[in-house]
Amino acid sequence: MGALQLLATTLLLAPLALAIDIPKVPTWPSGRCTDKSLTIPSWIISNYKVSGGTTTFRVDNRAAVVTGLIASVTCTSDNKCQSSAGGDELRVTIAHGANGNPVIGLSEIWVCTDEGDRVFFTATGSTTITQCASDNCVSPITYLAYGSLSLPIPLTPAQPSPPPGYNAPTCADVGQGHWTVSGGMYITTLLRVAGDHDPKVLSRLIQNATVSYQNYTKGQCKQWYQPDQICLDNQNGGFKAKGQYLNLNVTNKAISHAVTCSFTPTYNHLSPPTPLRCTGGNFNEITLDVSWSGTVPNFSLKVEELWYCLESPATNVNPTVIVASGSTSLSLICTSNIGITGTPDDIVTTCTDPVSSHAVDGTQVAKETLPPFSLVTAYSSHGGCTFDSIINPTFYYRGMFFSTNAFPANDPSSATISRFTAGLTGPGFADFFFYENKAISGTGINTVYTCNVYYDGKPPESHWNCTYSFNPHTKTITQDKVWQCSDKNAAQPLYFDGSGSFNWSVDPYSDCNTAGNAISCYWHDSLATLQPGVPYDIPKITVGLVNVPPPHYESTERVNGKWAKLFKSS
C-alpha cells in the first residue's frame, strides 16, 4: 500500500454523543454538629429589613443543632441590637462600613454533644449588607457570614473558591460564537520560522501549534528494547510512540476561560477516546469534553462544557450549573512522509490548522439551580486530624522496650536509661518510633530525652517538639509531643502539644529482668505489638498557630574518640 493510500485511510473516529453528567452538590447531613463547627462555622442573615429607623433580620447558625428559630434580631437607630434568643450566647452588632453599607457583627457560643463529649465552640464573624443601605428597604437576598473559632481551638476554616468566571456578567449567555477553538500559529509562519532548520525543528513547531494532529503508523524507533514501549535509539529525545496525537485550545467566551485539550498515545491507547475529557469532572470544577472525528484532512470537532454561574447577584444567591454543546468543521493542512524505519508501512502524517481560530456556536442542553452558597461552602467531612485532636485525643504506645544502666540499690532514683524504644501513634500521626537519644535536662529518672528524628533531611523548623522521661520502677513515661493539623486550613496549620504521664504497667504482659542492679522490660502481647497499640487519653493539650520547635543540633564534638552532635535549645 502506498503512502498516499495509507494517508487516505487514516483511522476514522466515529462521532459519538457527548454527555457530561452534572455532579451532585455535596451536602451536609442533618446533625454532625462537631464536624460542622470545625469546618463551616458560619451564619445566614435573612429577612433583612430597615423601617422607621429600626433594622430587623434573622440569624441562623449553620453549625449548631437548631431547635427552632435561632434568633430574630432587632437593632435600633442608635445601633444597639437585641436578640430574641435571650442570654449572651449570641451577640449581634451593627455598624456602617466605609462605603456606607451596614456591617453585621456576630459572636456566639454553642455546645455540640453529638460525639459524646460536651464541646464548647465560640466563634465570631461578620458580613456586609450590600442590597439594603437606605432608611427604608428590604434586602432581596440572604447573606453568609463566615466564622472564626476561638474555642476550642483558634481556627478559621478555609472554604472553597468558586470556579473561574462564575460571577461574570455574561456567564449565563449561550449562543453564537460561544467557544473559540484557536490555532496559535499559521502554517506559513511555522515554515518561515523553521527556515532551513532540521526537519525535527519543524515537526516540534507544528506539534506545538494549538490545533494540530499527527498520526504515526509505527513508533519512530529503529531499535526496540520493548516494541512500541521502550526505544534504545531515542534520537536525542525525538522518539514518538505509535498512534494519534491531538492538541487544541478551547475558550469559553461567556466566562473567559481557556482549556488546553491534548492527547498523547500510549501502548494500549493509540487514538483519542470519544469523548476526550480535557479537564474537570468534579463539583465546583469547569468540565470540558471534546470529540474529534473524520479523515485526513477534514475533521469535525464537537465541544461540550459544564460551568457554574451566579446570575443577577444583586437579587440572587443561588448559583446555577450550565451544560452546553456545539460543533465545527476543520480542514487542516496535512503532509505525509516515510518514517524513521524507512519501511512502506511507516507513515508519518502531520496536520495543522491554516487559520488562527474557529468560532463554535453553543446550544444549552442542561441547566440546574443549586443551593445558596454551595460554591463557597466546604464539603461534608467526618473526622480527620483536627477532629481527632479535639474529640477524645489519644496516644497509643506499642513496641515498648527499655533497659537501664546499673544503679546503686540505695539510690533507685539515680537509674538512667541505657536502651529505650517505643512506637507512638496519636492524632494526625502514626508509627512515630523513637529511641534513647541525647539527654537534654535532668538526672536519673528525671532525665529528659529528645525523641525527635533529625535524619530526614528536613530543616529544624520543620520538626515538632518531642521529649520524654521514664521511670523504670513504675514503668511510667512522661511524654510531651507536638503534632500539626492542616486539614481545615492548609495556609494556617494548627500545632497541638499533648503532654502527660502514661503508665505502661497497666498492660501486664511484659517480661522484665532485674538482675545486676539494672532493669529491662519488653511488652509482647498483641495489643502492645500491633497497630495502633495500647491507648491512653492525653490529659493535657494546648494548641496554637505557632510551631513549637524542638531542641536542635548546632555543632559536634569529639569525646573519648567518638563524635557526637550537641543540642541547642530553640
Last residue of a domain, one of 374, 408, 429: 374
Residue 516: the pLDDT is 82
**Residue 6 belongs to a domain:** no
Question: Are the C-beta atoms of residues 140 and 118 closer than 8 Å to each other?
Answer: no
Residue 421 has pLDDT above 80, yes or no: yes
Same-domain pairing of 330 and 412: no
pLDDT of residue 563: 62
Answer whether residue 167 is part of any domain.
no
Same domain, 368 and 399: no
For residue 465, give the 3-state DSSP assignment.
Answer: coil
What total of structural domains would you count in the chain?
A: 3
Task: With respect to residue 11, please indicate whether it lies within any of the assigned structural domains.
Answer: no
User: In the prediction, which pLDDT does 558 show?
Assistant: 66
- 392 and 365 within one domain: no
Same domain, 448 and 507: yes
Contact (Cβ atoms closer than 8 angstroms) between residue 191 and residue 358 = no
Same domain, 334 and 253: yes
- Nearest-angstrom CA–CA distance, 495 and 205: 51
CB atoms within 10 A of CB 120: 11
| Rg of the chain over all Cα atoms, to the nearest angstrom | 34
Q: Is residue 7 part of a domain?
A: no
What are the tens digits of pLDDT across the range 506-563?
999 999 999 888 999 999 999 999 999 999 999 999 999 998 777 665 555 667 776 6
- Write the pLDDT tens digit of every residue in 232-268: 887 666 688 999 999 999 999 999 999 999 999 988 8
- My answer on whether 392 and 516 are in the same domain is yes
The string of pLDDT tens digits covering residues 340-387 is 888 999 999 999 899 889 999 999 999 999 999 999 999 999 999 999
Residue 520 pairs with which residues in a beta bridge? 403, 513
> How confident is the model at residue 438, as a pLDDT?
83
In a shared domain, residues 227 and 311: yes
Angle separating helix axes 199-208 and 187-194, nearest 10 degrees: 150
Mean residue pLDDT across the chain: 87
**pLDDT at site 468:** 96
Question: Residue 290: which of 279, 300, 299, 303 has the closest Cα?
Answer: 303
Which of 374, 401, 434 is the last residue in one of the domains? 374
| Terminal CA-CA length for the chain | 77
Task: Collect all residues with Cβ–Cβ distance below 8 Å to 526 and sequence separation of at least 6.
Answer: none
Measured distance CA(427)–CA(392) in Å, rounded: 10
| Position 186 in a domain | yes
Q: Do residues 53 and 140 share a domain?
A: yes
Residue 158 maps to a domain: no
Give the cell for residue 70.
435561632
Query: Is the same domain home to 395 and 528?
Result: yes
Please tell me whether residues 111 and 136 are part of one structural domain: yes
The values of phi and psi at residue 433, to 5°, are -90, 135
pLDDT exceeds 90 at position 125:
yes
Residues 370 and 228 in one domain: yes
Cis peptide before 272 (omega within 30 of 0): no
Q: Residue 41 — φ and ψ, nearest 5°? A: -65, 115
Residues spanned by the domain of 367: 179-190+201-374
Residue 14, in any domain of the structure: no
The whole-angstrom separation of Cα 84 and Cα 72 is: 5
The dihedral formed by the CA atoms of 29, 33, 34 and 38, expressed in degrees to the nearest 10: 80
Dihedral sign, CA of 487, 488, 489, 492?
negative
Q: Name the band, by pLDDT with cuts 50, 70 and 90, for residue 191.
A: very low
The C-alpha cell of 32 is what? 454532625
Local structure of residue 282 (DSSP, 8 states):
S
What's the CA gap between 36 and 64, in Å, rounded? 8
Q: Cβ atoms within 10 A of the Cβ of 195, count?
A: 8
**Whether residue 134 sits in one domain with residue 45:** yes
